[in-house]
Amino acid sequence: MNLHLFPRRGYVKQPTPIEWLPRLSERLGVEVHAKRDDLLEGCLGGNKTRKLDFSIAKAISQGADALITCGAIQSNHCRLTLAWAIRENLECHLILEERVKDTYDPKGSGNNFLFNLLQANSVKVVPGGSDVHGEMERLSEKLIAQGKRPFLIPGGAADPVGALGYAACAQEITGQLLESGQSFSHLVCASGSGGTQAGLLAGFAATNTPIKVIGVNVRRPDRKTQEDLILGLTRDTLSLLGFKGEFDPSQVHCDERFLGLGYSRPSETTLEAVRLLARTEAILVDPVYTGKSLAGLIGLAREGYFKRGDKVLFLHTGGFPALFTYLELFPEVVGPWAAQGGD
């Protein structure tokens, strides 16, 4: 796997750490470690930095002076695309999809606050189910008419170029394991737009690393639909990498049982996961992505899915700014603190 064939901007300057989570491991009865991609550079970090390392490099190589991308109203991908666009002196235009009706607040906290603070060049909010790619295309035409050179990045940078970021991460993990002498039987990650899981699968296949990747659905309620998406993107990424072998479809595993009430609607299992990691390891996860993937890991452990001797790697993809838009779901924290007036 020769990733040097593809331009990148150098946003990932060193491997993110793999940390043992001893107190969480004790609670679950299985050894759990975290790959801390929440510590990646960028405005408050997160996994999209790895993908944008390649995506923005392609944009710049084509002479772009403006980026257009899309995501949900609290999109971590949009936050990081905007942040890196600022660092690269590029315009950044966002199309935000209100996937849950009446949840967009222009004065909202979390990533929405950061879109305003960082001053995106434009933000357009469209109803859930809209043709967001068509919206990006129409905006691109307007910018071209103004003499701009826009470059479109799909939601989550979930195309083969963006997925190279997680093929590189898989290679990074393999190197860390060789250096440390560790091994992991499973890796658990959030599975949404698909670029992270597909990139990992492509990277592990290309490096012949036998880690079972389990994606926890955070958006789509149908397992087969998500697995078909991941399979297609994995194969396209391997094709881009020039991989000559056959990729076994049985390597794609998605679990929809921890989605809760739907995208951005956390169940009690998700909220328990947020509390548990905070109170055992002082690590924050959000209720939309990493909280649901952690709930999946916890649920699988309690079901006895992991066997004696298994070691599990939890991919922490970041996104904790969204945590602060869900304060009302943690009344035991917010209520007493507000009542006492702090300390």
In this prediction, residue 333 has a pLDDT band, given cuts at 50, 70 and 90, of confident
pLDDT of residue 96: 98
**Active-site positions?**
75
Phi, psi of 255 (to 5 degrees): -125, 115
CA-based angle 281:286:289, to the nearest 5?
115
The string of pLDDT tens digits covering residues 274-324 is: 999 999 999 999 999 999 999 999 999 999 999 999 999 999 999 999 999
> Given a cut of 70, is residue 336 above it in pLDDT?
no
Helix residue ranges, H only, the chain: 22-28, 48-61, 76-87, 110-117, 132-145, 160-180, 195-207, 223-241, 268-281, 290-303, 331-340
**Is a pLDDT exceeding 60 seen at residue 342?**
no
| pLDDT for res 337 | 53
pLDDT at residue 332 greater than cutoff 90: no
The rounded distance, in Å, linking the Cα atoms of 24 and 232 is 34
| Longest pairwise C-alpha distance within the chain | 63
Decide: 98 and 124 in contact? Cβ < 8 Å: no
CA-wise closest residue to 311 among 204, 216, 166, 188: 188
Q: Do domains 3-46+159-336 and 48-157 have the same CATH topology?
A: yes
**Structural domain spans, the chain:** 3-46+159-336, 48-157
* Cα 249 to chain centroid, rounded: 22
Q: pLDDT for 216-274, tens place per residue?
A: 999 999 999 999 999 999 999 999 999 998 999 999 999 999 999 899 999 999 999 99
pLDDT of residue 335: 63
Q: Does domain 3-46+159-336 have CATH number 3.40.190.10?
A: no
Q: What is the dihedral of CA 32, 284, 281, 173, to 10 degrees?
A: 40
Phi, psi (rounded to 5 degrees) for 69: -145, 175
Is a pLDDT exceeding 70 seen at residue 160? yes
Q: Return the CATH architecture of domain 48-157.
A: 3-Layer(aba) Sandwich (3.40)
- Note the pLDDT tens digit of each residue in 169-228: 999 999 999 999 999 999 999 999 999 999 999 999 999 999 999 999 999 999 999 999
